[in-house]
Amino acid sequence: MAEIRGKIFGIAGPTVIATGMTGAKMNTVCLVGNDGLLGEIIRIRGDRATLQVYEETGGLTAGEDVVTYGKPLNVVLGPGLLTNIYDGIQRPLYQIRATGTDFMERGIKVATLDMEKVWQFSPLKKKGDEVEPGTILGTVPETERITHKVMVPPGIRGKIKDIKSSTASGKEPLCVLEDGTEIGLYQEWPVRRSRPFKEKLPPETPFITGQRVFDTLLPVAEGGTAIVPGGFGTGKTVVEQTIAKFSRSDIVIYVGCGERGNEMTDMLTEFPKLKDPDTGLPLNLRTVIIVNTSNMPVAAREASIFTGVTIAEYFRDMGYRVSLLADSISRWAEALREISSRLEEMPGEEGFPPYLATSLGSFYERSGKVRCLGDDGRIGSITIISAVSPPGGDFSEPVTQSALRFAGALWALDPDLAYRRHFPAVNWQTSFSLYYSELADWFDREVSPEMIKFRTRLFKLLQRQNELKEIIQIIGIEALQEGDRLTLEVANMAREVFLKQSAYSETDAFNSYEKQFRMLNVIFAFLDNAEAALKRGVYIETLIDSPLRTEVLKLQNYTNEGFAPRAEELIEKIEGEFGTIEEK
C-alpha cells in the first residue's frame, strides 16, 4: 500500500483525529506528529480517521503530519524473545534503558530484537526438500532451557533452493526457495489476528499447577481458560506468580496489564532471581514478560494482552505448552472504556462499551490445544489464566461476568479467607471447573480410580462443615452429636492440610498429583477409622486429642519424593491405634 499522509485535526487524550486519510484502512499503524508517535486507526469516516496513540500525546498540535503505510500492528517473532521484557507494543525495556534513560521518551525507536546478533543454526532440512507452512527448518539454542524452532511462516510453501548450515542472523535470508521466496530468522505477525493451526484438540489433560486446590478441586485443562477474580489484597498476583514458577508449562508469558508500578517493580526485581524447580536454572530462561503499568498510555495497555497472546501462539506453533498469565483483565477493560468514551460511543453497563464481551472473546478464544501446522504432527497449547479485579470485590460487575462467558474454570478469591491468612484464598463454594468430566479418564488412568471419589467426598465434607457452622451459631458446638463434631474436626483438618498451601515453602509450594492423592487418602483414613471407633463407643475427645491428628497436620512438611512411604506408614498407624482404643 502506498503512503497516505494526513493532518491532525483534533486531539482528545489518547485519541487523535486526522483528516486527508482517504484510502486508509482499519487497524493499520500510523506515525503521528513530528515525533512519529505510534498509533493505530480504529475508526474511519470519509477522509477522517480516528487513531489510538500508544504514546503520551501531550505536546501534539493540530496540523502536524499523520503518515500510514497500510501495515497492521505487528509483533516481531524469533530468537531473543525469551528473558526479555517488553511494553504493551513490544518495545524492549532493557534496550531502551541501555540508551541512557530510565523513562521512555516520546517517539523512541529501538529494535524489538537484535537483528545483528549471530545465532548458531542447526538445519533439519536440506536443499531439494519440500516445505509447507509450519515446517521446522532448523533449531537455534535460544536459552539453556529452550530450543527455538525456526518455522516456515504461514502462507509459504515450495522447494528449498538453499539453506544455511552453521550460523545465521536477521540481516540475511536463512533459506531461499526455488521460486525466489526468502525465509528469514525472524517473522512478523499482526497482533489482532490469530495464527493458523491444523486442528483444535479436546481438553483431555490437566494443566498442572502444583496447587492442590486448583489441581484436585478446580482443575483447568491444558489449553483451557481460568479467571481469578478477587478484591484488593486477596492474592491474585501471588497466585499468578506461583503458577508462573511451578506450573508444568514449557513457556510462560506474563502480561502485567495496568498494574501498579511498585507492584510490577517488585515482580521484575524478584522474577529473575527465581529458580526453575525442575532444572534449577533461572526461571526467566523460559519467560517473556510484557509490562504496561497504570501510568503508561492506556492505548498500549489495550494492545498488551494481544501482544502477549500472539507471542504465546508463536511458541505454541513450535509444539510447546505455553501458559499466558494476564494481570489484570479489569485494567485492560478500563483502558477499553476510556478509549470508547473518547470516541463518544454509546456506553453500556457501568460505562463499558457494548462490545466488551466480544473483545474479551477475541482474546480468550486464542487459547487451546492444537495440532500445529507442519509435517511432523506436533501438538502445542496455550492455557490462559487471567486475574480480574472487580471494584469492591463485586463479582456481578460487567468485566467479571463477561469473562465468565469464556472461562472454563473460576477460581474466586475470598477476602475473608485472605484476612485469616488462608492462601490460596479460594472460595471453593463459589468457584467451579467445567473441565472435570473431560479430565475424568486422565485422573482414573494417571492418578488413581479413587481420585474422583476423594474429590467428591471432599466437596461433601466441606459442604457439611458449612451446614454445621450454621447450626453451631444457634445451639453451640457442645450440642452437636459426636459424629458431627468429628466431621467438623476432619473438615478443619482438610482445610488446614489440603486447601491451605504456602507458595514460599520448599516442601509445599509444588505438589505432584501422587502427593495430592495420598494426602486425601490419609485424611479420609483418619475419618473412616475415627467413625468406626465412635461406633464402638470411643469418646470423641480421645479421637480429637490423638497425637495422630498432629501428625496429619504436618503432612505439608514432606516432599513429593518422600511422601508415599510416609503416607502409608501414617495410615497403618491410624488403623492400628484407632482399631485398638478401648471403649467407654
Residue 418 lies in a domain: no
Residue 149 lies in a domain: yes
**Residue where one domain finishes, among candidates 16, 46, 72:** 72
Residue 566 lies in a domain: yes
- 301/118 Cα distance (integer angstroms): 32
- 308/297 Cα distance (integer angstroms): 17
Domain count, the chain: 4
Note down pLDDT in tens along the chain; length 584 residues.
578 999 999 998 889 999 999 999 999 999 999 999 999 999 999 999 999 999 888 889 999 999 999 899 999 999 999 989 998 889 898 888 888 777 777 878 888 998 999 999 999 999 999 999 999 999 999 988 899 999 999 999 999 999 998 888 888 899 999 999 999 999 999 999 999 999 999 989 999 999 999 999 999 999 999 999 998 888 888 898 889 888 889 999 999 888 877 777 777 777 777 777 777 788 888 999 998 888 888 888 889 999 999 999 999 999 999 999 998 899 999 999 999 998 888 888 889 999 999 999 999 999 999 999 998 889 999 999 999 999 888 899 999 999 999 999 999 999 999 998 899 999 999 999 999 999 999 999 999 999 999 999 999 999 999 999 888 888 877 777 888 899 999 999 999 999 999 888 878 888 999 999 999 999 999 999 999 988 888 888 888 888 988 999 988 888 888 889 999 999 999 888 887 766 54
Is residue 226 a contact partner of residue 424, using CB atoms and an 8 Å limit? no
The one-letter amino acid at 321 = R
Same domain, 119 and 174: yes
The one-letter amino acid at 483 = G
Same domain, 525 and 384: no
CATH code of 311's domain: 3.40.50.300
Domain extent at residue 152: 114-185
Q: Which residues of 122-143 are buried (b: 16+ CB within 10 A; e: fewer)?
A: ebebeeeeebebbbbbbbbebb
- 466/156 Cα distance (integer angstroms): 60
Is residue 112 a contact partner of residue 81, using CB atoms and an 8 Å limit? no
Instruction: Write phi, then psi, for 467 (nearest 5 degrees).
Output: -65, -40
CB atoms closer than 10 angstroms to residue 45: 9
Same domain, 156 and 11: no
Is residue 11 a contact partner of residue 57, using CB atoms and an 8 Å limit? yes
CATH code of 510's domain: 1.10.1140.10
- 364/406 Cα distance (integer angstroms): 7
Q: In the beta sheet, which residues pair with residue 444?
A: none
Is residue 66 a contact partner of residue 7, using CB atoms and an 8 Å limit? yes
**Residue where one domain finishes, among candidates 21, 56, 72:** 72
Q: In the beta sheet, which residues pair with residue 138?
A: 123, 150
Q: Enumerate residues 6+ apart whose C-beta is below 8 A from 44.
A: 21, 24, 25, 26, 50
Same domain, 180 and 206: no
Kindly report the pTM of this predicted structure: 0.94
CATH code of 20's domain: 2.40.30.20
DSSP states of 385-423 as a string?
Answer: EEEE--GGG-TTSHHHHHHHTT-SEE--B-HHHHHTT-S
- In the three-class reduction of DSSP (H, G, I as helix; E, B as strand; rest coil), residue 111 is classed as coil
* Sheet hosting strand 147-151, strand order edge to edge: 122-123, 136-141, 147-151
- 131/150 Cα distance (integer angstroms): 12
**Residue where one domain finishes, among candidates 150, 185, 220:** 185
Q: Enumerate residues 6+ apart whose C-beta is below 8 A from 359.
A: 336, 353
